[in-house]
Amino acid sequence: MKKTDPIESLKGIGSKTALLFHKLHIETVEDLLMYFPRDYEVYEKPVTLREAVSKSASFEGASGIVSVYGRIKKGVVLKKKGNLTIAITSAEDIDGREFTLIWYNAPFVRALFHANDTYIFRGRISEIRGSRVTFEQPEYFKPEDYKPQMGKMLPIYPLCKGISRKLLIKCVLQAIDNLPEIEYTEPVGFDDALIREEDLLPVRQAIGHIHFPKDQEDHDQCRKSLCFREFYRFALMLRLIRKTYAGVKNAYPNLRKHEEVDRFIGQLPYSLTGAQKRAWEQMRAEITGPDTMHRLLQGDVGSGKTIVAFLLLYETALSGYQGFLMAPTQVLAHQHYQNFTAWAEEYKLPLRIGFLAGSVSAKEKTNIYRKLEDGELDIVVGTHALFQEKVLPEKLALVITDEQHRFGVEQRKNLTDKGLHPHVCVMSATPIPRTLGMILYGDLSISVIDEKPANRLPIKNCVVDTGYRPQAYRFIEKQIEAGHQAYVICPLVEESELMTGTNVTDYAETIRGNIPNARVEILHGRMSDAEKNRIMQAFLEHSVDILVSTIVVEVGVDVPNATVMMIEDAQRFGLASLHQLRGRVGRGDAQSYCIFVQTEGSSAENDRLDVLNHSNDGFYIAEQDLKMRGPGQLFGHKQSGSLVFRIGDVFEDADVFTKAVSRADAYFSGLDENDRDRLAQAFAGTDHDTNDGKPMALL
């Protein structure tokens, strides 16, 4: 079997099932092997009820899940509540302490449990009230059936409708059985000495065991081995791109400074901040100077990067050249387009601006292609559609990508290939610690906007427990009555057997019940792009009052009217992700608020959330996130899609990242020009970084 064989080559996968796998970006055997678990289910040794309560209170164990030995005290009682059937019984642990067991719409358990039967109950404690302890929906095993499961780490994968966990595990096991015959080539310069010195596992062993690790130590070793290889390849590619860019002369000699741009700045109803002026002057000097600009514009959420980008595009257009701005989502791209066209109309700027995205009609796309090729458009704002082969601008001199972490290094290189060494500006609101940023954006110079516009009031924060919810609902209701809007963020899309936490589907109904006059919509990553765009547009147009969403809104449109952000299960998210989410409010001149609801947790979680409670500085928060983040963070940068790697996370794996980059730099520095050319040829044509949202190739 080859790693490039289609997924259908595995037994049990027909053409219809293969199409379902394709929705998960699994098209080949290698894609399946590289579809790493997002978490693991660990079957731990059963504990006493007292120990279980202690673990639950300190949020230890597998996301709060505990296993308890129990002897059934009496038969199951069935109760009806509307359309709901509630099955209730009680058991006692080995110390004789009693606890309650509840299942919903599972009347069949009545025939399973009888007095004096012994079971292992596995689940999460739903209530502790005095001496009363309740488990809801626990799994149950006969002791002899549970024992073989103990100590195992069973993978949990992101799924889609039609692909069950059982089917995915079955297919992964089949692919792992074929690993010995699958050919894998180590990254260039990755020899046995490096593997030994860095204490890495052979690649096939790491791939096989990352899905089914023997224990936590085995998992950590596998993850380190795969992360190191991924970061090493990334660093080599970065060095090659840096070499390509280094010393490239400005190919657009007529690009010069224009008084019209200065007049436009003077007409704005606000003054640029000192940081905005510094960034603008740095980049203006570069695009009109002797060398090609390759710069990162990094600014916290709401710091005013967009106007600086527009100034660059305007200067470029006045010089007779074309500029692109690419955003990761259609809604965000369209908002940039609307802002640009509004400025052009209001201030009578001589700009011809186009919009290109997947939703644009075929006829209009053809028109855009023609105008670009004929030089009849100055600025085009769009999404990945700008990558299309038919996009052939006449004189592209500037390429700007917004929220750059959503695009890979090779992707932005593909976009710049549309012109003759155009100037490059990549923008990011993702707060990266400067120590990592210097490495991660090693092919770029960096400008930082570290001030907020004067009219922006600091967001008021509070960290609360679940008892504050009724007050929060009343507060949100008052904000809605005052004409404002609110976000409510949940970690899950819907109720899950494998994970607990607030979910969008059910919580939207809770909000509707508590704030009946509000117009409530839900948003999550499983929706089609068209549906997500429709809902975000409705929220932007104030046809929706409260948007209940997953972290899909972390990078989103600017809704100045939104003044409240309420984040449920806040302890489950990384600090930087929480800061990004918080940045969705406070975009207008009204006072804005962020409510972090901590549903469970330890003093460590309290310390983490306290950082957000007392600071709105994204860079400070990023540094603290790097210091405080523990391994296995469930909802962090990796899960929110930023910094696109298959398995690595530059926060969680910062030590591995810096070592891998150091090794790659040392290898690259020892190559002569011919060796570097051969390295570039080895990378050419491989799947380093795709344009369809898949991460860069690991191996």
Nearest to 142 by CA among 122, 168, 167, 158: 122
**Mean confidence (pLDDT) of the chain:** 84
User: Looking at the predicted structure, is the pLDDT value of residue 411 above 60?
Assistant: no
Q: Using the predicted structure, report yes or no on whether residue 651 has a pLDDT greater than 80.
A: no
| Mean pLDDT confidence for 520-541 | 86
**Angle subtended at Cα 380 by Cα 378 and Cα 383, rounded to the nearest 5 degrees:** 170
pLDDT on residue 434: 65
Judged by DSSP in three states, 653 sits in coil
pLDDT of the residue at 631: 35
List Cβ neighbours of 601 (8 Å cut-off, separation of 6 or more). 59, 571
Contacts of 572 (CB under 8 A, 6+ apart): 491, 501, 634, 635
Which tokens belong to 676?
């570097």
Tell me the longest C-alpha to C-alpha distance in the chain.
89
Q: What CATH number belongs to 460-615?
A: 3.40.50.300
* Sheet strands side by side (includes 593-597): 460-464, 593-597, 562-567, 485-489, 546-549, 520-523
Q: Name the pLDDT band for 636 (thresholds 50, 70, 90).
A: very low
Ranked by mean pLDDT, which of 20-24, 548-552, 609-613 comes out on top?
A: 20-24
Q: What are phi and psi of 172, to 5 degrees?
A: -65, -45
Instruction: Look at the chain and count its residues.
Output: 699
Residue 397 has pLDDT above 60, yes or no: yes
Neighbours of 185 (CB within 10 A): 9
DSSP state at residue 485: E
Instruction: State which CATH number among 2.70.70.10, 3.40.50.1100, 3.40.50.1000, 2.40.50.140 fits the domain covering 44-150.
Output: 2.40.50.140
368 or 159, greater pLDDT: 368
- From CA 155, how far away is CA 573, in angstroms rounded? 20
E-only strand ranges, 61-195? 66-72, 77-81, 84-92, 98-104, 118-123, 125-129, 132-136, 139-141, 153-156
pLDDT higher than 60, residue 406: no
Is there a contact between 393 and 418 (Cβ–Cβ < 8 Å)? yes
Structure tokens given for 96: 């004789």
Give the C-alpha separation, 221 to 209, whole Å.
Answer: 9
Handedness of CA 394, 397, 402, 407 (dihedral sign): positive
Q: For residue 501, what are the CA distances in angstroms to 492, 498, 566?
A: 7, 10, 15
What's the pLDDT band for 319 if we cut at 50, 70, 90? very high
Which residue bears the tokens 């085009």? 380
Q: Does residue 79 have a pLDDT over 60? A: yes
Domain ranges of the chain: 44-150, 460-615
What is the model's pTM? 0.66
Residue-wise pLDDT for 364-379, tens only, equals 999 999 999 999 999 9
pLDDT tens by residue, 96-147:
999 999 999 889 999 999 999 999 999 888 888 777 899 989 999 999 989 8
Q: How many CA atoms lie within 13 A of 157 on its CB side?
A: 24
Local confidence band at 198 (pLDDT 50, 70, 90 cut-offs): very high
The confidence band for 687, taking pLDDT boundaries of 50, 70 and 90, is very low
Instruction: Report how far Cα 334 is from the mean position of its chain's Cα atoms.
Output: 21
pLDDT tens digits, 220-245: 999 999 999 999 988 888 788 777 66
- Residue corresponding to tokens 């899905």: 211
Please state which of the ranges 165-169, 362-366, 650-654 shows the lowest mean pLDDT: 650-654
Task: Say yes or no to pLDDT of 616 above 60.
Answer: yes
DSSP state of 160: B
